[in-house]
Amino acid sequence: MQQANYPQTFIAGKALNKSKSLKKSVAVRKSFSQIKFEKIFKSTLVLIALSVVIIVLAIFLTLVVQSLPSIKALGWKFLGGKTWDPVSNVFGAYPFLIGTLITSFLALIISVPFSFAIAIFLGEYYPKGWLSELLKNVIELIAAIPSVIYGFWGVFVLVPIVRDLETKLGILPYGIGIFTASLILAVMIVPYAASLGREVVRMVPSALKEGAYSLGATRFEVIKNVVIPYAKSGLFAGILLSLGRALGETMAVTMVIGNSPIIPTSIFSPGHTMASVIANEFTEAADSIYLSSLIEMGLLLFVVTVIINVIGKRIIKRFTNE
Amino acid sequence: MNRTGAHLKWRIAKSNIAKTVIIILAFACVIPLLAIFFYIIKEGVTKINWHFIVSLPKPVGEEGGGIANALLGSLLIVLCASVIAIPIGILCGIYLSENKTTRLAYYSRLAVDILQGVPSIVVGIIIYFWIVKETQTFSAISGSAALALMMLPIIVRSTEETLKLLPDSLKEAALALGLPYHRVILKVLLPCGISGVLSGVILSVARIAGETAPLLFTAFGNPYLNANIFKPMQSLPLLIFNYATSPYDEWHDLAWGASLILLTWVLLLNIITKITTRKWRVQL
């Protein structure tokens, strides 16, 4: 309907142009300039939509091109190499890969029970009312706090607490380390899975729940056997988005993880993640292989988070369309 | 009979236990948030005064000093980022809401999704190569470009979703009056959805105001007052990061004060977004 209108005005304008009997009055000229503007406007829209696509492609290409020297020089050894020693030109990303994976998954394990509890509480137990409104807004504020503030707070509050805990457990009391980083990350990623989970739990059809209730199921049984299986894929998407967020998080992790390029021996030992090593060493990297191996890590991070995010978004889209 | 009764009681008890556990877990998440607020306010409030806002950081060992350079820098960087990102974001959002099924719209939407997930540190690397390396100097404008790249997806999404919510009859009526397409969009649809679009813009500013990682290799930081956007510039998050990781107590004090100001700023922006979106029910 709306699309059809546009060509009509356009053709009308052309017809006016051709008919000699009509003089080019002011109104006609004005409508011509309007039509011209219309064309410019439309092509601007297309151009901008196109430029967003180009930006993303350019990001990928830039990362690939800049990391070529290290890909060529090191190949697969880069991922498997266990030592990172820029002074003697040995670059192995394995400690950082492990550090990133451990912190992210540990954070995920800690945060998932909480975010699912929030999702079920807000989606099923108390979908309405001031209390749930309040909790919802408070949870969203968790995502709003800048990560550098999390890091700062972590250094001065969480690190001493963890140090005390480590002294009690009889381990070397670093305070900083993978466990501390995971704790901070866990707090930071709770809102992502929680708000998405709340949406999908709300979307469970009440007919299904009522059917289960009428068969005599208790509330817990309804949640366990009806709500969660139905919302399964949406909850999974929430976990994926949280994971994507945890993998790429830089500042808070950098400040509390200890920044030492060794393969962590336990969850309490200091470590390094891919993002934190880039943040720490990028401006110092003078040598081209050094720099490009840092960028290769950025490329890896980019590809992994993109895949995770796109899969997560796809699942959400499928869920909301059903 | 007795056994089924006991079983029933157990099931009900289990249901109640589960409910209690879920409520406890759900509200446990509020604790770290309150702890952070409490600690930042406690440490920050004593440091903030007029002197703190208008003076520059002092060298190590001297008492006092302020964060004027970071405040000015943060404002300028965020302002420039908004100037870059808002027009592009809104126009892209208009395209996506007007062309729902074209192939370009599909790829553009995918690109926006990808852009939203790019780790902030990677954005920093990219802008380093695109701008800093080309101009051979760290500059505030490159920091703005990095932040603009992170604002873009939020603005695009909120514009698209808001415009989709407007009834088709609005647009049809305007077209039936003979208005050209661009005026229908800019003079009818956009003003109608302006509060939804604006709340997306404010939210995007709130998200990037505290970003540090993209500024590390772009704006870089600067201990002096600087208003030239083509030179390195200090910003609040950068200052907090640099001073928090330093071993000096005076600098920690500055960082606490800066944290409180940054936190207040970000939270205010978020609350404004909350109030405007309540009217619009836009999912961001």
Residues 166-205 of A with CB under 8 A from B: 187, 190, 194
Q: Is residue B280 very low, low, confident or very high in pLDDT (cuts 50, 70, 90)?
A: low
Residues of A in contact with B151 (CB under 8 A): none
Q: What is the pLDDT of residues B120-171, one digit of tens each?
A: 999 999 999 999 999 988 999 999 999 999 999 999 999 999 998 888 899 9
Candidates B181, B261, B262, B278, partner chain A, best to mutate (most A CBs within 10 A): B181
The set of long-range contacts for B171-174, using a CB threshold of 8 Å and a minimum separation of 24, is B171/A2, B172/A1, B172/A2
In degrees rounded to 5, what are phi and psi of residue A271?
A: -155, -155
> Which pLDDT score, from 0 to 100, does residue B264 have?
93
| Out of A6, A52, A302, closest to residue B111 by CB | A52
Predicted complex ipTM: 0.90
Task: Yes or no: say if A271 and A103 are a contact pair by the CB < 8 Å rule.
Answer: yes
User: Among partner residues B119, B213, B266, which is closest to A305 by beta-carbon distance?
Assistant: B119
* Residue B47 touches chain A, beta carbons under 8 Å: no
Task: Give which of A246, A243, A281 is closest to A261, Cα–Cα.
Answer: A281
Return d(Cα A151, Cα B241) in angstroms, integer: 8
The answer to whether the Cβ–Cβ distance between B270 and A140 falls below 8 Å is: yes
Residue in A11, A251, A256, A284 to test binding to B, most B beta-carbons within 10 Å: A251
Report how far apart, in Å, the C-alpha atoms of B140 and of each of A155, A184, A284 are: 28, 30, 20
Give me the residue from A41, A142, A308 closest to B181, CB to CB: A41
Residue B86's pLDDT band, with cuts at 50, 70 and 90, is very high
Could you give the CA distance from residue A202 to residue B226 in angstroms, rounded to a whole number?
51
Would you call B211 and A139 a contact, using CB atoms and an 8 Å cutoff? no
The answer, for B206 touching chain A at a CB cutoff of 8 Å, is: yes
Could you tell me where the beta strands, DSSP code E, fall in chain B?
none
The pair of three-digit structure tokens given for residue A102, joined into one six-digit string: 């451990």
Classify residue B64 by burial, with Cβ atoms within 10 Å: 0-12, 13-18, 19+: middle
Residue A115's alpha-carbon distances to A220, A296, B32, in angstroms, are: 17, 33, 14
More confident residue, A77 or B41: B41
Instruction: Look at B118 and A151 and tell me if their CB atoms are within 8 Å.
Output: no
Classify each residue of A252-276 as buried b or exposed e, where b means 16 or more C-beta atoms within 10 Å of its C-beta: bbbbbbbbbbbbbeeebbbbbbbbb
Which of A148, A202, A223, A255 best tests the B interface by mutation, with the highest count of B CBs <10 A?
A: A148
- A45 has a chain B CB within 8 A of its CB: yes
pLDDT confidence bin for B221, thresholds 50/70/90: confident
Q: How many beta-carbon pairs under 8 angstroms link A with B?
A: 252
* B11 Cα to chain A: minimum distance (Å): 7
DSSP lists the bridge partners of residue A258 as A271
Q: What is the mean pLDDT of each run of 10 residues along chain A (322 residues)?
A: 47 51 70 85 93 95 92 84 84 90 94 94 88 88 92 92 90 87 94 91 91 93 93 92 92 90 86 91 84 92 92 87 70
- Cα–Cα distance for residue pair A278/A259, rounded to 1 Å: 11
Chain B partners within 8 Å of A157 (Cβ): 35, 39
Check residue B206 and give left, alpha or beta (phi > 0: left; psi -120 to 50: alpha).
alpha
Which of B11, B21, B122 is the best mutation test for A, with the most CBs of A within 10 A?
B122
Contacts of B124 in chain A (CB under 8 A): 282
pLDDT at position A246 is 93
- Put simply, whether A49 touches B (Cβ < 8 Å) is yes
Q: Tell me the CA distances in angstroms from B266 to A46, A272, B192, one per residue in order.
A: 34, 29, 27
pLDDT of residue B281: 54
pLDDT value at B268 more than 60? yes
The pTM score is 0.89
Alpha-carbon dihedral A206, A207, A208, A209, rounded to 10 degrees: 50
